[in-house]
Chain A
Amino acid sequence: MKPGYKKVERMTPIMRIIHWVNVVAIVAAVVSGLYIAHPYYETFISDPALDKYVMAWNRWVHFMTAILVDVTSIWVAYLYVIGDKERPWTKLVPTKRNISEFGEVVLNALTLNRRKRFDTKEMDSFNAVWFALMHLLLIFMLFTGLQLYVHGLASGISSIGSWWPWMLHLVTDWTLFVFGGNMGVRYVHHMTMWLIVVWVACHIYVQIWRTIYWQEGDIAIAFGGSKFVKDDKLD
């Protein structure tokens, strides 16, 4: 540890697990989703259909990632409010302090780190908003994806009972009206994937940039759970 710096805990093991489960799920969802959209690799594998099952496996992977995204979003929602480390919701409320902090974080990036007037030892309100945006995108994928999925349950029955398609219709049919029918829903599902990819690109860049220019080891938060801040800031 550099002299004059102190270690601060930021992400508990649970939070880090959620983080990496999300990463894996999203990468797998993008890869399998693009295959579903346009089956792009070799299809003439000289195997009987039963063995290769390429599209079916891709759809299986896609739905497994959907379940992972599902479960982690419940956890995340819980931690947003009750978590014992960072309680992002306190940073989401548009109070005067949060709004000015949000502006300061933006200014910090625009001035290339010449101006830094906020506390970097805790999650800042810019990141709180930025992460909330990702969770909204994921929930949106869940609604549109489940609408696409319930198309296949037209019979109204499923292996786990008829409540399942019933519930999916209840919760996701509004997407049909908002986005213009089956095809519209499929289109926004695909388009939102790109928003998620763009989000990921920005997120990785911001964290690397902070690590280099803030000199506080921010990127380590997602791995070891902690970062460093100047001792005098800790009081």
Chain B
Amino acid sequence: MSDRVEAVKKLFTSKSSRVETNKGDTYYQDLFVKCEARLNEMRAQAPANRLDFSDLLEDNGIDRREFMKWASATTAMLMLPPMFTPLIADAVVMMNRAPVIWLELQDCAGNSEALLRADGPKIDEIVLDIISLEYHETLQAASGHQAEKQMEEAMELFKGKYILFVEGSIPMGMNGQYGTIGASGETFHDHLLRCAENAAAVVAVGSCATFGGIPAASPNPTGAVGVMDVVKNKPLINIPACPANPANMVGVILHYVLTGQVPELDSLLRPKFAFGYRIHDNCERRAHFDAGEYVEEWGDAGAQNNFCLYKMGCKGPMTFNNCSIVRYNEGVNWPIGVGRGCIGCSEPDFWDKYAYERPMADAKIKAPTGGVEKSVDEFGLGLLTATAIGIGIHAAASAVAGKKSGECEGESK
């Protein structure tokens, strides 16, 4: 019973995607002082690697001015007032003091790819380069027992301090035997729990690690789930999307380095600074949506004129993400910009519920009871037909054998 009371309470108090962008001067003054103290503390620590941010910027031909522009944009993205810009710039330099352990579970490594395969390292990627990646299952040179030893050392050395990044879902079927790692054949599930135990915070990157993603799509053969379903009692941040936007990964790490806190999260544990925006409300094709001008077919006149992609299945109206604003690859472009509808990659169950080339109303969806897949209108019309048949039978029976009141006497009161 008390469980149920709790569940109901949770329903009504749960956090929404509402964004509190101005918390008042006192709040920011306090935060500023706290952040400064924290940065000073970090400055005193020995860096975990020897990479120097200023050198890296210079090597890549990025001058100070460009860097400060980036810092003020990032400050704004994190919804902090402009006075935090110098702190952000300082925090970036200190990123080599933030130990990170990166796990690679059931997935395509697309998030790591997104970090690595940018056309030329841009500031976001450079920042991610200098974080102290103590252990990255895909990138590291070591393998087998050697890799395992390296991980144990890192976990011991940075106990309670490291940030655990997780990419990929966790297969729970067959006692987790669908995914094992290392010489001892540890399951992904055990591996994750072991690494999460002494982490300061856990960050799930990409749709698979957050909500199960594509491995969890129907019929979910491996019983895949997201990190939030198995890791409890740890500060957890979800950065969904397929792939997660490097800008948002940087934002989360920076926020953590700077404030020592998890950024404000919505009910799906996504940072609001990134997922508090609806695609549809920040889309360059929105005027065509309101006008009723839609692409009807790939390559038609509408497509050539950048009409709205709603009828081609764009799920922007139901999707919260900032890719319509920050875009991908350092602002080069984004899916709708290249003429492709949004598939809701930052929402739970996106592969089943969002990723199809027609509006929701035309999609074939499984009945809650399983079985046949029908569109909602087919279900509804079926229901209406059944009703019409029922009415027809009753009407016909009444016409043949119905008794009109007042036609004959002796009717009971």
User: B349–A209 contact, CB under 8 A?
Assistant: no
Q: Which residues of B contact A53 (CB under 8 A)?
A: 290-292
User: B278–A191 contact, CB under 8 A?
Assistant: no
**CB-CB under 8 A for A187 and B383, given A53-B290, A170-B12:** no
Question: Is A49 positioned at the interface, with any CB of B under 8 Å from its CB?
Answer: yes
A120 to chain B, nearest CB (A): 9
User: B391–A43 contact, CB under 8 A?
Assistant: no
User: A154–B401 contact, CB under 8 A?
Assistant: no
A109 to chain B, nearest CB (A): 7
User: B290–A182 contact, CB under 8 A?
Assistant: no
Question: Is B19 positioned at the interface, with any CB of A under 8 Å from its CB?
Answer: yes
List the one stretch of B55-63, B104-112, B154-162, B402-410 in contact with chain A. Answer: B402-410
User: A112–B18 contact, CB under 8 A?
Assistant: no
Most-contacted residue by chain A among B291, B395, B402, B413 (CB, 10 A): B291
Question: Is A116 positioned at the interface, with any CB of B under 8 Å from its CB?
Answer: yes
Of the candidates B21, B281, B348, which one forms a contact with A181 in the assembled complex, judged by CB atoms under 8 Å apart?
B348
Question: Is A87 positioned at the interface, with any CB of B under 8 Å from its CB?
Answer: no
Q: How far is the CA of A230 from the CA of B280 in the complex (A)?
A: 61
Q: Which residues of B contact A224 (CB under 8 A)?
A: none
User: A113–B360 contact, CB under 8 A?
Assistant: no
Question: Is A166 positioned at the interface, with any CB of B under 8 Å from its CB?
Answer: yes
Question: Is A85 positioned at the interface, with any CB of B under 8 Å from its CB?
Answer: no
Q: How far is the CA of A173 from the CA of B294 in the complex (A)?
A: 31
User: B402–A113 contact, CB under 8 A?
Assistant: yes
Q: How far is the CA of A181 from the CA of B311 in the complex (A)?
A: 21
Question: Is A114 positioned at the interface, with any CB of B under 8 Å from its CB?
Answer: yes
B288 to chain A, nearest CB (A): 7
User: A177–B384 contact, CB under 8 A?
Assistant: no
Most-contacted residue by chain B among A150, A182, A194 (CB, 10 A): A182
Near B by CB (< 8 A), chain A positions 190-235 give: 190-191, 193-195, 197-198, 201-202, 205, 209, 212-216, 230, 233
Q: Which residues of B contact A197 (CB under 8 A)?
A: 380, 384
Question: Is A176 positioned at the interface, with any CB of B under 8 Å from its CB?
Answer: yes
Question: Is A152 positioned at the interface, with any CB of B under 8 Å from its CB?
Answer: yes
User: B290–A49 contact, CB under 8 A?
Assistant: yes
User: B360–A174 contact, CB under 8 A?
Assistant: no
Smallest CB-CB separation from B8: which chain A residue?
A: A174
User: B405–A201 contact, CB under 8 A?
Assistant: no
Q: How many residues of A contact B (CB 8 A)?
A: 61
Q: Which residues of A contact B379 (CB under 8 A)?
A: 191, 194
**CB-CB under 8 A for A109 and B19, given A152-B278, A182-B318, A202-B387:** no
Smallest CB-CB separation from A33: which chain B residue?
A: B361
Most-contacted residue by chain B among A43, A183, A194 (CB, 10 A): A183
Q: How far is the CA of A150 from the CA of B17 in the complex (A)?
A: 10
Question: Is B267 positioned at the interface, with any CB of A under 8 Å from its CB?
Answer: yes
User: A43–B281 contact, CB under 8 A?
Assistant: no
Smallest CB-CB separation from B293: which chain A residue?
A: A43
Q: Which residues of B contact A165 (CB under 8 A)?
A: 18
1/0 per residue B180-202: CB within 8 Å of A?
A: 00000000000000000000000
User: A177–B14 contact, CB under 8 A?
Assistant: yes
**CB-CB under 8 A for A154 and B294, given A116-B405, A174-B11:** no
User: A56–B290 contact, CB under 8 A?
Assistant: yes
Smallest CB-CB separation from B311: which chain A residue?
A: A39
Near B by CB (< 8 A), chain A positions 162-180 give: 165-166, 169-170, 173-174, 176-178, 180
Q: How far is the CA of A194 from the CA of B381 in the complex (A)?
A: 8
Q: How far is the CA of A216 from the CA of B405 in the complex (A)?
A: 9
Smallest CB-CB separation from B319: which chain A residue?
A: A182
User: A114–B293 contact, CB under 8 A?
Assistant: no
User: B413–A233 contact, CB under 8 A?
Assistant: yes
Q: Which residues of B contact A115 (CB under 8 A)?
A: 412
Smallest CB-CB separation from A165: which chain B residue?
A: B18
Q: Which residues of A contact B413 (CB under 8 A)?
A: 117, 233
Of the candidates B19, B278, B354, B404, which one forms a contact with A151 in the assembled complex, judged by CB atoms under 8 Å apart?
B278
Question: Is A136 positioned at the interface, with any CB of B under 8 Å from its CB?
Answer: no
User: A186–B318 contact, CB under 8 A?
Assistant: yes
Question: Is B235 positioned at the interface, with any CB of A under 8 Å from its CB?
Answer: no
Q: Which residues of B contact A166 (CB under 8 A)?
A: 18
A90 to chain B, nearest CB (A): 21
Q: Which residues of B contact A109 (CB under 8 A)?
A: 394
Question: Is A38 positioned at the interface, with any CB of B under 8 Å from its CB?
Answer: yes
Question: Is B276 positioned at the interface, with any CB of A under 8 Å from its CB?
Answer: yes
Question: Is A103 positioned at the interface, with any CB of B under 8 Å from its CB?
Answer: no
User: A213–B402 contact, CB under 8 A?
Assistant: yes
User: A205–B18 contact, CB under 8 A?
Assistant: no
User: B347–A183 contact, CB under 8 A?
Assistant: yes
**CB-CB under 8 A for A169 and B16, given A39-B310, A186-B318, A201-B384:** yes
Question: Is B335 positioned at the interface, with any CB of A under 8 Å from its CB?
Answer: no
Q: How far is the CA of A230 from the CA of B17 in the complex (A)?
A: 61
User: A183–B353 contact, CB under 8 A?
Assistant: yes
Smallest CB-CB separation from A184: which chain B residue?
A: B353
Question: Is B317 positioned at the interface, with any CB of A under 8 Å from its CB?
Answer: yes
User: B354–A215 contact, CB under 8 A?
Assistant: no
Q: Can you report 11 A-B residue pairs in the complex whose CB atoms are below 8 A from each other?
A: A43-B292, A49-B288, A112-B397, A112-B401, A112-B402, A112-B403, A113-B403, A151-B317, A154-B276, A156-B20, A183-B347
Known: A114-B403, A186-B360. 5 other contacts (CB 8 A): A113-B402, A155-B276, A181-B347, A183-B354, A187-B360
A interface list, Cβ under 8 A from B: 37-39, 43-45, 49-50, 52-56, 58, 109, 112-117, 150-152, 154-156, 165-166, 169-170, 173-174, 176-178, 180-184, 186-187, 190-191, 193-195, 197-198, 201-202, 205, 209, 212-216, 230, 233
